[in-house]
Amino acid sequence: MEENDKASWKNTLSRQQGVYVITNTDNGKLYVGSATGRNGIYQRWQDYIRDGHGNDTGLIAIVKQHGLEYVQAHFRYTLLEHYDFTVPRDVVLARESYWKEALDTRKHGYNGN
């Protein structure tokens, strides 16, 4: 990927908040999360790149059990919905909850809440 492409992605994702799903391609399990912080989706996904879990309890267990290399090899990140920062945080969190319910990630995935 060219440096200009990286800057473009960083700039775009830093200006958006949203709801995403992480798919474990090894077993099909899903994790739904949201990004509402200052640097949006970019910052949240950087957390996952850095440590594999972003301080999410269900994902911490996977990293401890299988290692960061497993996560890097098998986790795929997909943006489900994105919003600019004029959309209230509670709207994004409500949509996160909707997707957890729709994809049944509390019962059959990695979401504990």
Task: Give the CATH number, domain containing residue 82.
Answer: 3.40.1440.10
| Contact call for residues 42 and 13 (beta carbons, < 8 A) | yes
pTM of the model: 0.91
Q: Scanning the structure block, which residue is given the tokens 């200009």? A: 4
81 domain residue, yes or no = yes
99 domain residue, yes or no = yes
94 domain residue, yes or no = yes
The pLDDT confidence band at residue 7, using thresholds 50, 70 and 90, is confident
- 80 phi and psi, to 5 degrees? -90, -45
| Contact call for residues 30 and 102 (beta carbons, < 8 A) | no
- Structural domain of 57: 3-108
Residue 110, judged by CB atoms within 10 A of its CB (0-12, 13-18, 19+), counts as buried
113 domain residue, yes or no = no
Which pLDDT score, from 0 to 100, does residue 5 have? Answer: 66
- 52 phi and psi, to 5 degrees? 85, -10
Domain count, the chain: 1
Structure tokens at 89: 């945080």
Condensed to tens digits (0 to 9), the pLDDT of residues 18-73 reads 999 999 999 999 999 999 999 999 999 999 999 999 999 999 999 999 999 999 99
DSSP 84: -
Compute the mean pLDDT over every residue in the chain, rounded to the nearest whole number. 94
pLDDT at 96 over 80: yes
pLDDT at 3 over 90: no
- 55 phi and psi, to 5 degrees? 65, 20
Q: Which residue has the higher pLDDT, 20 or 2?
A: 20
Which pLDDT score, from 0 to 100, does residue 2 have? Answer: 61
| Contact call for residues 42 and 10 (beta carbons, < 8 A) | yes
Mean pLDDT confidence for 2-9: 72
Percentage of residues in the chain having pLDDT higher than 90: 90
- Distance between CA 109 and CA 113 in Å, rounded? 11
